[in-house]
């Protein structure tokens, strides 16, 4: 409820923070099936950006669900709420001048678009980690697909819950054909081309 609650404008703005950091802040939103490589890729991009002097943070579904979203499960309703909270947290980090790498299955287009719409125009960039279900299932790093197939996990994305592919993602990474290093390069080059990071 925002009734009876008033917005305060602060003297120090995002602009001040970006100027001091010497780079822009924005959100790269990694979406894809479990096992498609979101976390591995977001972590590798974070390392690259951090080492080149950027303020950057990864928000990862598995980790956020241990704290901020520990009350949520995997029904469509809980996933909507997960996206809403993470979208708001991403917005705060962007306001603080930090580059956010959000790695969430985020299976519903509408939820991803809602996050985009809550951020200032041009701040949300969808990265589709495109990987066939068969490959994700073959990787199965956490044994989740095997358990979902046995019926031990309900509402499992790709098996018993939907994944809605992005229609016009900002960046597509084929994580079953590239190496992680090559994927990082593609992303960094795209960020430079979009003038989100400097062409160093």
- Active-site residue numbers? 106
Q: Indicate whether 34 belongs to the interface with ligand PPS (CB under 6 A).
A: yes
Per CB under 6 A, contacts with ligand ADP among 179-198 are: 179-180, 183
- Single out the residue of 37, 107, 166, 169 in contact with ligand PPS (rule: CB under 6 A): 107
Question: Binds 55, which of ligand ADP, ligand PPS, none (CB < 5 to 8 A, cut-off by type)?
Answer: none
Query: Containing H/E element for 171?
Result: strand 171-174
- CA separation for the pair 38, 61 (Å, rounded): 10
- Shorter beta-carbon distance to ligand ADP: residue 21 or 40: 40
Q: Are 44 and 182 in contact (CB under 8 A)?
A: no
User: CB nearest ligand ADP: which residue?
Assistant: 37
Q: How far is CA 52 from CA 18, 22, 75, 86, 180, in A?
A: 16, 12, 39, 26, 18
Binding partner at 41 among ligand PPS, ligand ADP, none, C-beta below 5 to 8 Å by kind: ligand ADP
Which of 53, 120, 122, 141 is in the footprint of ligand ADP by CB under 6 A?
141
Q: How far is the CB of 152 from ligand PPS (least distance, A)?
A: 10
Q: How far apart are CA 1 and CA 82, in angstroms?
A: 18
Q: What angle do CA 24, 82, 196 make, to 5 degrees?
A: 15
H or E element at residue 100: strand 99-103
State how far the Cα of 7 lies from the Cα of 68, in Å rounded to an integer.
23
Nearer to ligand PPS (CB atom), residue 20 or residue 142:
142
Binding site for ligand ADP (CB under 6 A): 32, 34-41, 103, 139, 141, 175, 178-180, 183
């Amino acid at each position: 409820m925002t009734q009876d609650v008033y917005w305060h404008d602060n003297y120090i703005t995002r602009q001040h923070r970006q100027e001091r950091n010497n780079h822009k802040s924005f959100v790269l939103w990694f979406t894809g099936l479990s096992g498609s490589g979101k976390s591995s890729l977001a972590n590798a991009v974070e390392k690259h950006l951090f080492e080149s002097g950027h303020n950057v943070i990864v928000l990862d579904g598995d980790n956020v669900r241990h704290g901020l979203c520990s009350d949520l499960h995997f029904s469509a309703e809980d996933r909507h709420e997960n996206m809403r909270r993470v979208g708001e947290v991403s917005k705060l980090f962007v306001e603080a001048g930090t580059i956010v790498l959000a790695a969430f299955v985020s299976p519903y287009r509408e939820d991803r678009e809602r996050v985009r719409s809550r951020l200032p125009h041009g701040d949300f960039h969808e990265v589709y980690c495109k990987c066939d279900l068969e490959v994700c299932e073959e990787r199965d790093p956490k044994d989740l697909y095997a358990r979902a197939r046995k019926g031990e996990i309900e509402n499992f994305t790709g098996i018993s819950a939907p994944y809605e592919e992005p229609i016009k993602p900002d960046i597509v990474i084929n994580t079953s054909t590239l190496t992680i290093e090559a994927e990082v390069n593609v992303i960094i080059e795209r960020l430079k081309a979009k003038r989100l990071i400097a062409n160093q």
